[in-house]
Structure 1
């Protein structure tokens, strides 16, 4: 089996050196592209840096400069020292530095979010131009959310526990946020929903939580976007009132009670109607006999008196 001849040491060294330089170039280029990210908030003024600066020995008349967004939408363009194009959405909101070619945008809007590109051509007469710069820069626009608002509504309450529906809401921010919470410093997961008209519109976020509260607890709601965090806490108090539900009597109990009441009323009615007659018939006759007997006893005996008088004579 034949063996291939080994490469000379000098040639191998050059190959490794070239490969190392290529890797360093790629890393440095990637690092530079990674650094070309500009962050701003709605309403602020921000400058997007260009990849080329006109030397002091030259002027803008020797260049063509194109600032474009998403590689298709021309924000503004200069040729031979004068502006030749500007997008209507950026009218009265943009200007370009004539030396370092920085694009200034003010006031910032959510729709300005996205990738931009600065393309610079050096004019060489007659009718010749060379592209000296063509690099992207990303604009990341944010909008602050309102301070979270927490509300609690009691759904059911008993002596042992209280069921509550807790809601947390925030609005007007960008981009889409994360919502988190804690119950007495223990993490909880919100049932979250987001509302936005489009991918480049402010977001409204609402979180919902169902809790079974047995004692006073503290609930915290946090809304986070782009490393910014806004939080609100609320003390949930268990109501002191205790409602014991009353159990209505059964049908059989109601029926039996009704029958007893009806019988009782009938008994009272019959007693009121027949008892006085019986009492009078039982007590009134003996009394009349006694009175008559008394009257009879009170009368003087006529026969005895006559006999006495006769005997006396």
Structure 2
């Protein structure tokens, strides 16, 4: 038997056909835990078990466990190694609890072949859903807004859940879908939402079942990553730019070709000493000028 035991019992009262009020017990438990179903009668220790017959049945048709004269005489195969009953207090113990254990049980006690007790107990089995997972996918984008597909999913819970959510604390309705093998199987749930995001938004997704809820949140930021494509230059601009580049190249070529010719050749060209002396000897003699003065007596 499992060690965990968290049984929650509720009692409902409804009128019987004879007009007398009868109690209806509801016990809640989670998958994998231990649950105890109380019977409507306990056998006093002062009496003999030889005079009693007690059995538990489910949905009226399946006998879960049966005792006669204090000895077990029958057990359902699906409950084998998971079920016990004390022959005195007649409490039915089930561990570990499974989804298929969900349903209505009936405790019947006979004393000297006369029905001394007959009462039903409803067992509600639950299983916790996983923490909701929120994912996003951009389906379309522009500078003004971004269309995002938001998916919220959770799995492994019971019973069939509901999904709800909010955008910046404003309620929103999800397009929900469920997956389960049967009505007594674990459920997977997925909620889809298409949203046009124009600014930062906080998304909350909640999965609710049997009065319990698990929630997750995601902050979705609007990114302003619009890039304006460059405008190609016009035909006239291309022609003018080409002319400027050609003129600049021609100016460099002309400057490189004619600039050395304008420099003094004697300043830039070194002279040989012998050649310099020969030039000095061939120079004509310097002419002397005579200035006559007239004096008067």
Same fold, TM-score > 0.5, yes or no: yes
* Aligned ranges 1:230-269 → 2 under 5 Å: 230-243=214-227
**In the alignment, does 2:135 pair up with 1:151?**
yes
Q: For 1:46, which of 19, 35, 49 is the aligned residue?
A: 35
Q: Determine helix, strand or coil for the equivalent of 2:217.
A: strand
For the residues of structure 1 that align with 2:229 and 2:184, how far apart are their CA atoms? 53
Q: Write the distance in 2 (CA, Å) between the matches of 1:244 and 1:155.
A: 21
Match of 1:61 among 31, 36, 50: 50
CA–CA separation in structure 1 for the residues paired with 2:120 and 2:227? 67
CA contact (8 A) 2:67 2:87 kept: no
1:113-146 superposed Cα distances (whole Å, 9 cap, x missing partner): 00000011112xxxxx100011110000000000
Q: Is residue 2:144 matched to residue 1:160?
A: yes
Corresponding residue of 1:311: none
Task: Tell me the distance in 1 between the aligned counterparts of 2:229 and 2:37.
Answer: 68
**CA deviations over 1:281-303 (Å, ceiling 9, x no partner):** xxxxxxxxxxxxxxxxxxxxxxx
Q: Given the superposition, is the C-alpha separation of residues 205 and 245 from structure 1 closer, same or farther in structure 2, using an over 3 Å criterion?
A: farther
Q: Deviations over 1:252-289 (max 9, x none)?
A: xxxxx9xxxxxxxxxxxxxxxxxxxxxxxxxxxxxxxx
1 or 2, which has the higher helix percentage?
Answer: 1
2:176 match: 192
Quote how far apart the aligned CAs of 1:66 are.
1.3
Q: How does 1:98-113 map to 2 (within 5 A)?
A: 98-113=87-102
How far apart, in 1, do the equivalents of 2:101 and 2:227 lie? 57
Cα distance, 1:26 vs. partner?
4.1
Q: 1:118 aligns with which of 99, 102, 107?
A: 107
Structure 1 residue 28 and structure 2 residue 21: aligned? yes
1:183 match: 167
Runs of 4+ in 1 over 3 A off after TM superposition: 25-28, 243-247
Cα drift, residue 242 of structure 1? 1.1
Q: Quick one: which of 75, 79, 101 aligns to 1:86? A: 75
Q: Which runs of 5+ in 1 are unaligned?
A: 1-21, 124-128, 248-256, 258-313
Unaligned runs of 5+ in 2: 1-14, 236-297
- Contact 2:164 2:173 survives alignment (8 Å): yes
